[in-house]
Amino acid sequence: MNKLKKKKQKPKWNLQRNWQLHALVLPAVIVALLFQYLPMAGLVMAFQDYEPWLGFLNSEWVGLEHFRTMFTYDDARQVIWNTFVISILKIIFQVLVPLTFALLLNEVYHMTYKRTVQTIVYLPHFLSWVILGGILLDMLSPETGIVNQMLVGLFGIEPIFFLGSNDWFRPVVIISDIWKDFGFNTIVFLAAITAVNPQLYEAAVIDGANRWKQTLRITIPAMLPIIIVVATLSLGNILNAGFDQIFNLYNPLVYETGDIIDTYVYRVGLLNGDFSYGTAVGLFKSLISLVLVVAGYRLAYKYADYRIF
């Protein structure tokens, strides 16, 4: 029997047939080109002694001088250290707190109460740090803040200047960040819990396992892939300590422990007009973040079989 096997032909790209889809994507492509790729030409300032009136073409070329300067300044080293400390603490608690809360919320059987709590903890995620910063400034004020009024009235403790103390500023930043965003990650973990096979719990009940043992032996192991994905993908943000949050909360009194790379670049590059040095610091941060993003995706693929491409 001679049967001719027809080869499957790949569909040809037809702009005339699919022009509506391309037109739909075009605005997003234009915005990305204008605001993401075109400004990257300004990175050349990191290697120049840039002067605005001379422009890119006529400014003096200094090579890696600004990068060497960055590591000789005590302020720059302190800023890099602050960024690492704040970012690492945020990553750790933004995994542990939502995970713990999701496990506890999963044990609630009253659906109305469960959904109400879930909505309440999720709401701060939609508020900007401009609004939340104002709320925290009022709440933590040493004179009129409700927190200090409770400390003085209930415990007789002297008022604490939370946002003006190097000892208290980092805890305030970490706790307020958890308050704002842990509701979002809680939803991610709750979705992972719902994907667990119910028959596993039924078998565990037959074997005499209580709720605590079911959580340890079934729920957490089943959630381990998504936990690894969330944790490893957070590595790419290890140098993003939160410009919006820090900018709306910090002041010169807490530069020692609260100043991060983004606020330092803003202050040095834009306010002080040292464009070349500010660009060099920002480029250093971007390169490190790129390496960590690649490493995070590799780890997520290796340990959780997660990949985008």
The CATH number of whichever domain residue 177 belongs to comes to 1.10.3720.10
Q: Is residue 70 part of a domain?
A: no
In Å, the largest CA–CA distance within the chain is 98
Q: Is residue 22 part of a domain?
A: no
Q: Is residue 119 part of a domain?
A: yes
Sign (positive/negative) of CA torsion 216, 221, 222, 223?
positive
Does residue 162 contact residue 137 with C-beta atoms inside 8 Å?
A: no
Better pLDDT: 132 or 8: 132
108 pLDDT more than 80: yes
In degrees to the nearest 10, what's the CA dihedral of 48, 282, 306, 202?
Answer: 180
Q: Is residue 184 part of a domain?
A: yes
- 129-168 residue pLDDT tens: 999 988 998 998 888 888 888 888 778 888 888 888 888 9
Q: Is residue 309 part of a domain?
A: no
pLDDT band at 278 (very low <50, low <70, confident <90, very high): confident
Which residues sit opposite 49 in a β-bridge?
60
- Give the whole-angstrom CA distance, residue 70 versus residue 43: 16
Of the candidates 139, 83, 74, 134, the residue with the CA atom closest to the CA atom of residue 257: 83
The tally of domains found in the chain comes to 1
pLDDT band at 29 (very low <50, low <70, confident <90, very high): very high
Q: Is residue 27 part of a domain?
A: no
- 74-89 residue pLDDT tens: 888 888 899 888 988 9
- Distance, CA of 32 to chain centre: 21
**Cβ neighbour number for residue 192 with a 10 Å cutoff:** 20
113 pLDDT more than 90: no
- Strand segments (E) across the chain: 48-49, 60-61
- pLDDT at residue 4 in the model: 46
**Which range (3-7, 98-102, 171-175, 284-288) has the least confidence?**
3-7
Better pLDDT: 305 or 248: 248
- 240-271 residue pLDDT tens: 778 888 998 888 888 888 888 888 888 888 88
Q: Is residue 21 part of a domain?
A: no
Identify the domain containing residue 110 by its residue range. 81-304
Q: And the tokens for 285? A: 């941060």
Q: Is residue 160 part of a domain?
A: yes
- Give the whole-angstrom CA distance, residue 29 versus residue 23: 10
- pLDDT at residue 30 in the model: 94
- 32-60 residue pLDDT tens: 999 988 888 888 888 988 888 888 888 88
**Which range (46-60, 181-195, 290-304) has the least confidence?**
290-304
